[in-house]
Amino acid sequence: MTAFSASGNEQCFRDWLSERGFSENPFEPDGWDDAALRALVNQRLATCSGGRITCWEELCLAASEEDTLAPLLAAAQGSPHKLLRLGDDLLRRIAAQGKTSVTAAEVAATLSDVTPAPPHEGLYVDLASGHVWIDRRLVLPPLTGQEFMLLRLLYVSAPEIVSCETLIRSLWPDDRAVVGDEQSLRKLVSRLRRRLEPTHSGGDWRFIRCKRGRGYWLNLES
């Protein structure tokens, strides 16, 4: 599978993407959006398999694209070269084990190999990359943009309380209909809590705490 990440004829790929309306200079290191990256992956798969595999979904079988390709796209941070290297590492790992399909576990293992482990247990957020770890385990699939924004707001202020008004105005700055609507905030907090603590079965939440009448704060202690 080494050809998956081979540079090949980059002009060919520039032309191919340009025909489909992507950037005129698609090989800028961090200039790709998810649509262009997905298109590149599918095109490379088709080329390297001689047309036997035409899209990522054909490699996943029981796993979903959300659990497999989405984490790779997030880790690539808009870089086609980084994405192809990650894809190459993943396919080599699968081939070495005699497997023929991609699983979420193999994606997580591949990303863990190339992502430095956090320095401590508990919750750790890399604000630059967007990676989130719980007890040194990478959170996959990645948080949505809004989930990560909420976590970031709480993380940079921890352990101080952030008022509901501040969170709402930061999360929905241009949506007047949401301003003052704490129900939207509560729903987002609930989703984020479930992402960080999927096995929570009752009692206090470990990380995102609520101070009634004041707002939310983040507990970083393990």
What pLDDT score was predicted for residue 1?
Answer: 41
Domain with CATH 1.10.10.10 in the chain: 123-218
Low-confidence ranges of the chain (pLDDT < 70): 1-30, 62, 117, 175-180, 222
3-state helix, strand, coil in the chain (%, to 5): 50, 10, 45
What pLDDT score was predicted for residue 180?
Answer: 57
Q: Residue 66: CB partners within 8 Å, gap ≥ 6?
A: 141
C-alpha 32/C-alpha 30 separation (Å) is: 6
- CATH class for the region spanning 123-218: mainly alpha
What pLDDT score was predicted for residue 103?
Answer: 85
What pLDDT score was predicted for residue 186?
Answer: 94
What pLDDT score was predicted for residue 215?
Answer: 96
What pLDDT score was predicted for residue 138?
Answer: 82
What pLDDT score was predicted for residue 68?
Answer: 87
pLDDT tens profile 163-193: 999 999 999 887 665 555 788 999 999 999 9
